[in-house]
Amino acid sequence: MIKYSIGIDISKSDFHACLSTIDLGQHVKVTRSGKFANTKAGFAEFVKWVKASCSLKELQVSIVMEATGVYYENCALFLFLHGHSISVVLPNKSKKYIAAIGIKTKNDKADAKALSRMGAEQALDKWQPMGEFFYKLRSFTRHGQALKEMETAVGNQIEAAGHCMYENKAVIRSLKKMAALLEAQVKENLKAISGHIASNEEIAGRVANITAIKGVGELTVAVILAETNGFELFKNISQLVSYAGYDVIENQSGTHTGKTKISKKGNSRIRRALHMPALNMVTWDIKIFRDLYDRTLEKHGIKMKSYVAIQKKLLCLIYTLWKKNELFNPDHPSANTISDEEADVSLSGSFAEAE
């Protein structure tokens, strides 16, 4: 044996665990399984189970779990604090792996077994908990997005109710009260975001450096920081671009040449947050972005592609200003953190796709 791997399939109330081993011949063998409560007592019981099951102390023990809503977080944090190596995989990644190895059965025990095999066969990235400050900031920004979506939905209902064949004034009054409540909640949430940022002097200063870019507001920066854990997830710009879904994918094989476009396999909230700022860069004629817009528009004649290129360049600029703790200066070399050619990438996406 060269490695222990434990797969965890977790739900709201409990989780299934499966222990597998792998040898030099790449043969994976299931040795033990168990079920535990999704509580601190259950986590402690699981830690004892791991110690008793993994008798060869010199071998690596890898624990793999799926990012199931928020239900995995307490377990992952508990195990991390107790010195265990944790990998958290996205559901779509584990789903594709399970389909690839030909497992058709779908239940908690089978999923835990598949995850343990996945951890045994692959060198997965190690998970680290998100900082408390950015975790709370993410709660605020995601709650704000949900409120705005509800506000839009209620606004549409009011519009439709006013054009019904038989108008129901009681329903319209109720909807208008709901709209007023949601509007107040949106304002309160924005105030909470500002207060949370202001509570940390260093972070507030860095945010101010970025919002010196005309057209980039505090909420935009808050969303990007919240979704990236203050950029702690990334070692370079390429990783950030990929995480946000702005990386370029090609569709070419033999004599076939398809469209080159952004992958959009990334964090859609970041792309959504950069939607309006990209428009503002052109509207308010911010030189480094306006030049990119004009140059790329002349090249392909499609406005949407140029706007998405601006989104990508703006994201890279925000990353650089944050890392260097610099105030935005359009004449400074740091304003050109990504070349226009890299930002253009012959995108085929539209604003709707970018969101």
The pLDDT, as a whole number, for residue 206 is 96
Q: What is the CATH number of domain 3-121?
A: 3.30.420.40
DSSP of 110-169: HHHHHHHHHHHHS-PPPP-PPPHHHHHHHHHHHHHHHHHHHHHHHHHHHHHHTTSSS--H
Residue listed under structure tokens 């010196």: 212
The pLDDT, as a whole number, for residue 338 is 55
The pLDDT, as a whole number, for residue 9 is 94
The CA distance from 61 to 71, in Å, is 22
The pLDDT, as a whole number, for residue 254 is 62
The pLDDT, as a whole number, for residue 336 is 44
The pLDDT, as a whole number, for residue 246 is 87
Give the pLDDT of the chain (355 residues) as one tens digit per residue: 889 999 999 999 999 999 999 998 889 999 999 999 999 999 999 999 999 999 888 888 999 999 888 899 999 999 999 999 999 998 888 899 989 988 888 888 999 999 999 999 998 989 989 999 999 999 999 999 999 999 999 999 999 999 999 989 999 999 999 999 999 999 999 999 999 999 999 999 999 999 999 999 999 999 999 999 999 878 889 889 988 888 766 555 565 555 656 666 778 999 999 999 999 999 998 888 999 999 989 888 889 889 999 999 999 999 999 999 999 887 765 454 555 545 554 444 333 333 3
| Residue 86, φ and ψ in degrees, nearest 5 | -115, 140
pTM, 2 dp: 0.83
3-state helix, strand, coil in the chain (%, to 5): 55, 15, 30
Which of 182, 209, 207 minimizes the C-alpha distance to 194? 207
